[in-house]
Structure 1
């Protein structure tokens, strides 16, 4: 396979024009102040299926001839690629089959089926689903639509960079999440052709340094539960790794804490829901501020498909890290009035009690004592710090739970 050229990417832009959203590209003054860089955000989470994947999928489908369209296509994905292929396949009248692992959340299966695709569940791992899809490709003579290692897919993703540079000329850096490498490969080809001075910086979750390992010769351990499951790829593409090795200057790793913080900041500041993988670019600015200080940086928010329960957990955990929510373990004598004496301190400090629990049995304290566990919320971290000081000042011993 040969990588696409800038002409291929411009042709893809013309081909998909009007069928995908030309998403906003906006400066974030608040995030710029926070990170020390001039931060421009590309809101690809505002695509119809909430991810940039539509660009590559549509370009691939439009590149098929009538005979290939008639045979139908097949893809292996449990995420954004599945919905992109299914949605545009239905629009174009192309039969679509998607193979997903058996443990794929039901909501993702249903969303893909609602776009008109036939969903087949196979195996517990993405590798199992991929093997099944390739088997069905040969058996049923279907066209396989790879999520990233395909020139047409890469050309489609490159259109993101064309739009970013047109909206904000003179960017110093494009900061792009890396999973299989399709997005940053297409963007790097486009950006470097239009502006050779622009720097491409890739971002991976620290738990999945797959591309960094193969491109930079690292040996980072791969695996674990990451918020950025959309870029949690164990084996990156062959074509994409060659492009990245040539055109991407740096691959940064971001820890889970910064991924969570980035998701929470985008909700709080930009009022925009972004999944963990989609927020990885901003997470890189938080984790490596010196790398971007004083630069004009374009960040791709590449997807917004995050489970609502998971999003709620991330937002609450961020409040804990910011010090606005705390869990205090307060040691006290187990006698009438002890709880009232404690709650009086909360009242005086203006701290709201969310939940309380008494622990009398499973504790190392004397039998006449108890541990009162209080989950509380305040207007800021200083209020809770003041509460702890006041409780200890009147004789209570206080331990504070931590996420880190």
Structure 2
């Protein structure tokens, strides 16, 4: 991508938001009395505020980073197209951003996306529907990145990483700007904290940068079984560079990127990362669908599950309360699942 990179500051996030807000949805913030009661304990009342990026364009937050990244590229850089690797949501986001940017720039911007063969069929079809040329790879990050190199050598396309670039990070951080404004101005519930899912870490890093200096604490959430690399990295004091997992939260089967790790490993940005089991992810997803009537994908259920079932996080919220209610923002990162997938997850009786 362009060598001219913005610094990772709250001011840069605000600038990014001003640049892209006409191209994205200002997604709603929902509340749930039932889920808030489940998250509360003892004398501590936790008010959950859900930032519903499942209602964003392409059904996920990724359109924010992709739109911002393309907006920062020159016409010359875009002439040969853009390429990325993604399990689905970033693929759709980049394809749509390229299509919409083509209308603004006045020339066609080719979009190539490398997707694992095990990607959800609906996500593959959606990426192709937005105009992407899909190239398949193996499931690991190393296999995806190797295929991207092949595409770049063949086409000269500009790489737009799914998460590990300042312009992606800043674009994703715009959701935190909106969430904080909506919580205070629309709901009268100023945020105390936000928890977001963590895969490659672009969203978590962006949210953390956006909240720096605001007094809002930021936390991350990961699947415990195989995709808990941020949690393990913080425990061991070093970044984990590979992930092998078939967690149902398929959007989080990715190691934290180098740039994102610098933010996430900084306690001044991210106060902690917490993990949950596959069963807890399923239980949280079921609650959101049945109680809130909101369709989410499993990755979105991970921070909900942490708020409901992770005892260490619940203790952290009690400490944060100090005799008052805690307003906790939860990022619902996307809703790109299918009825068939839901039947597969919940249809079998144990």
After TM superposition, the score normalised by the length of structure 1 is: 0.74
C-alpha displacement at 1:26, in angstroms?
2.3
Partners of 1:271 and 1:105 in 2: how far apart? 22
| Structure 1 equivalent of residue 78 of structure 2 | 69
Deviates more, 1:204-213 or 1:283-292: 283-292
Partners of 2:120 and 2:277 in 1: how far apart? 24
Partners of 1:105 and 1:39 in 2: how far apart? 29
Structure with greater contact order relative to length (CA < 8 Å, sep ≥ 6)? 2
After superposition, give the CA deviation of every residue in 1:64-102 in whole Å (9 maximum; x if it has no partner).
101011121001112100000001111111210111223
| Structure 2 equivalent of residue 81 of structure 1 | 90
| Structure 2 equivalent of residue 25 of structure 1 | 29
* Higher relative strand content: 1
Is residue 113–residue 135 contact of structure 2 (8 Å, CA) maintained in 1? Answer: yes
SS in 1 for 2:163: coil
C-alpha displacement at 1:34, in angstroms?
1.7
Partners of 1:200 and 1:106 in 2: how far apart? 33
SS in 2 for 1:278: helix
Partners of 1:167 and 1:296 in 2: how far apart? 12
Q: What does 1:1-400 align with in structure 2 at a 5 Å threshold? A: 3-36=7-40, 37-93=46-102, 94-123=109-138, 125-169=140-184, 170-193=190-213, 195=214, 197-207=215-225, 208-217=227-236, 223-233=244-254, 235-246=255-266, 247-288=269-310, 289-293=314-318, 294-316=325-347
Partners of 1:211 and 1:143 in 2: how far apart? 28
Answer with 1 or 2: which has the greater Rg.
1
After superposition, give the CA deviation of every residue in 1:226-276 in whole Å (9 maximum; x if it has no partner).
11111121x310010110111111110111111001111111111111111
Partners of 2:243 and 2:276 in 1: how far apart? 13
Is residue 223–residue 302 contact of structure 2 (8 Å, CA) maintained in 1? Answer: yes
SS in 1 for 2:299: coil
C-alpha displacement at 1:218, in angstroms?
7.1
After TM superposition, the score normalised by the length of structure 2 is: 0.85
Partners of 2:139 and 2:21 in 1: how far apart? 37
SS in 1 for 2:118: coil
Deviates more, 1:117-126 or 1:19-28: 117-126
Query: Would you say how many aligned residue pairs link Structure 1 and Structure 2?
Result: 316
Change in 2 beyond 3 A, CA 1:113/1:271: same
Unaligned runs of 5+ in 2: 41-45, 103-108, 185-189, 319-324
